[in-house]
Amino acid sequence: MANRKQQTGNVVAVCWSKNKGERKTNIAEAQLLENHGLENDAHAGDGHRQISLLAIESINKMREKGLDVNPGDFAENITTEGINLVHLPLGGKLRVGNDVELEVTQIGKECHDRCAIYYQAGDCVMPREGIFVKVLKGGRVKTGDEISAP
């Protein structure tokens, strides 16, 4: 098997919501808890989808369709830039900042109910281009942190 080239990017936004099914607010910095997710976030828990990530490049695709969307609008916890999330392997590791380690557990998701974004644009990128991870090692994550996939 060929060696993968390390990908490096950065964190554009760190987002949180109190309730499931709503857009998340960019809070710029948060604590990620080992085997749990983003502290106090509605989606945190002990499952395999503890944190969701979406690339700003994906959000920009929706902007090109005329939508006024921003990080957190797709209910992602971490918005990244410069790293090709959907091509990471299941079980692949991500490092964020100095301490946080994540493991890719799911690429994309099935959308049972169409979200508000879908109805506005006729499309939504999160089911195809968002990824889910579990927190192997917790710590602080903030906007501007480096994110890498070795």
The DSSP-derived string for 79-129 is EEESS-GGGSPTT-EEEETTTEEEEEEEES---SS--HHHHHHS--SHHHH
C-alpha–C-alpha distance, residues 146 and 121, integer Å: 31
Q: Convert the pLDDT of each residue in 69-102 to its tens digit.
A: 899 988 899 999 999 999 999 999 999 999 999 9
C-alpha–C-alpha distance, residues 24 and 16, integer Å: 5
Q: Convert the pLDDT of each residue in 99-127 to its tens digit.
A: 999 999 999 876 656 655 555 555 667 77
Half-sphere exposure of 89 (CA within 13 A, CB side): 8
* Residue 11, beta-bridge partner list: 80
Other CB atoms within 10 Å distance of the CB of residue 122: 9
Cβ distance 6 to 148 under 8 Å? yes
Sorted by where each starts, the structural domains of the chain and their CATH numbers stand as 7-149 (2.40.33.20)
